[in-house]
Amino acid sequence: MKLSLLFLTGVLAFAHATPLLTRDLTLHAAQVDDAAAKLDALSSKVESLSASINETISTMPTSTAEEKDKAAEAVAPKLKELEAAVQEATALIEGTKNDKRGEHGKRSCSDSCLTGKANGLVAMITGTVSGLVGCLGVSRVTVLIKPILGAVGGLLTCLDGIVSGLLKTVVGVLSGLLGGLGLGGLLDGLLGGLLGGLLGGGGLGGLLPRE
């Protein structure tokens, strides 16, 4: 009798928990899909801005220090647009993260899919940075991209609230790419304080390549 009562209690508890679990999974799927759609839209904007930046740089002489300064001034507005686009996407995704309705149909993007999209976005941004470093030098590019890296850090932190572990994965990729351009220290200094807690303390530490 006592065993039957325990079994019945367990069945009732499971039956009560199942709808809650289903709702949580549905909500998570909806948040991932919505974030993925917004990352796709952001990637399109970044691609367009990157093309514009590359075109501008390619049409300007960059042999002397004065020419490099002028070229940096010419691309600065486009880089501000890129920063604003990342910030806008972050705000939109944050709004989705706070939406608890969980209305969703068939899932179209998994957690790993969203992480892949974030990796693709930072690779695209880093590709643009690489072109700028080649033309303008590290010191000028450092000044130009600091605000963008700050915005990217905010975006990745937001996404990590939807897919746990995304932040560490993508920052690891980003640090490797920027480290290859001589900008790894900039990433550590700029994002280390912001992301240190989520990466186990001590800033980006072991994620950054040593030069």
> For tokens 């490797």, what's the residue?
176
Mean pLDDT of 97-120: 76
Quick one: 90 exposed, middle or buried, by C-beta within 10 A (0-12, 13-18, 19+)?
A: buried
Asked whether the predicted pLDDT for residue 109 surpasses 80, the reply is yes
Domain boundaries along the sequence of the chain: 2-207
Q: Which residues contact 68 (CB under 8 A, 6 or more apart)?
A: 62, 135, 136, 137, 140
Neighbours of 27 (CB within 10 A): 16
Work out the percent of the chain whose per-residue pLDDT is above 90: 53
Least confident of 73-82, 144-153, 185-194: 185-194
Return the ∠ at Cα 198 (arms to 194 and 200), rounded to 5°.
110
C-alpha 77/C-alpha 54 separation (Å) is 13
Amino acid at 176: G
Residue in 70, 69, 76 with CA at minimum distance from that of residue 53: 76
Work out the percent of the chain whose per-residue pLDDT is above 70: 71
> Over the stretch 72-90, which tens digit does the pLDDT of each residue have?
999 999 999 999 999 999 9
> Over the stretch 8-66, which tens digit does the pLDDT of each residue have?
454 444 444 444 444 455 778 889 999 999 999 999 999 999 999 999 999 999 999 99
Residue in 157, 161, 164 with CA at minimum distance from that of residue 192: 157
Provide the token pair at 16. Answer: 């009560």
CB 26 within 8 A of CB 108: no
In eight-state DSSP terms, residue 66 is: H
Please report the pLDDT score of residue 176 as a whole number: 83
Mean pLDDT of 138-158: 91
**70: alpha, beta or left? (left if phi > 0; alpha if psi -120 to 50):** alpha
Amino acid at 49: L
Q: Which residues contact 76 (CB under 8 A, 6 or more apart)?
A: 144
> Is the pTM here over 0.85, yes or no?
no
Please provide the average confidence, as pLDDT, over all residues in the chain: 80
